[in-house]
Amino acid sequence: MSPFEALYDRKPPTILEYARGSSIQVLDESLTSRDELLRTLKENLTAAQNRMHQKANAHHRDITLTVDDLVLVHLHPYHKTPVRQHRQHKLSKRFYGPYTMLERIGTITYKLQLPSGSHIHLVFYASALKPFRGTDNVSACDLPLESFDNQAIDQPHEILDWRT
């Protein structure tokens, strides 16, 4: 929906190209300059869209993973605060793993084999995964535990006594 449609609740009027042949000289010049302006605007808009596409796709990387590949998982520290809260986000780990890929669910989603104690969903977008390059016998580092103020949350084993 264009801003015009949002404002006026109808499609914008189409501006037809001027067919030369007016007997009034001023009108002919005005409509010719309008056509040139519209042509220039369309060219500039197309060029700007092409630049935006090139910049957006400059850092795009195609990831092709197969089943049983080892991958590293990128946890976004600012978005995944229930997973772990860090005081210094810049110093926290960026990638965890390596973990084994179990299956490819969609074109860009993959299911991973995470440790049993992790509180994270098993399905990740391809943008959050990075192929692991190294030896296969590396043990996976644990995902961060749930914490409060960067201190682990302790759970009691049993309740010994209570007061009423």
Owning domain of residue 103: 70-145
CA distances from 59 to 11, 39, 96 (A): 36, 32, 22
Q: Looking at residue 62, what is its pLDDT?
A: 77
Q: Looking at residue 37, what is its pLDDT?
A: 94
- How far apart (Å, rounded) are the C-alpha atoms in residues 82 and 3? 38
- Does the residue 155 lie in any domain? no
Q: Looking at residue 70, what is its pLDDT?
A: 92
One domain, residues 49 and 105: no
- Does the residue 64 lie in any domain? no
Q: Looking at residue 143, what is its pLDDT?
A: 61
CA distances from 96 to 73, 75, 142 (A): 5, 8, 7
Q: Looking at residue 88, what is its pLDDT?
A: 66
- Does the residue 160 lie in any domain? no
| Of residues 80, 96, 98, the one with CA closest to residue 136 | 98
- Does the residue 94 lie in any domain? yes
* DSSP symbol at 11: P
CB contact at 8 A, 126 and 108: yes
- How far apart (Å, rounded) are the C-alpha atoms in residues 140 and 87? 24
Q: Looking at residue 15, what is its pLDDT?
A: 83
One domain, residues 27 and 78: no
Per-position pLDDT tens, the chain of length 164: 888 899 999 998 888 888 888 888 898 899 999 999 999 999 999 999 999 999 998 887 777 888 888 999 887 655 544 444 556 667 767 788 889 999 999 888 999 998 877 777 889 988 889 999 887 666 655 665 555 554 555 667 777 887 87
One domain, residues 8 and 75: no
Q: Looking at residue 83, what is its pLDDT?
A: 46
- Does the residue 151 lie in any domain? no
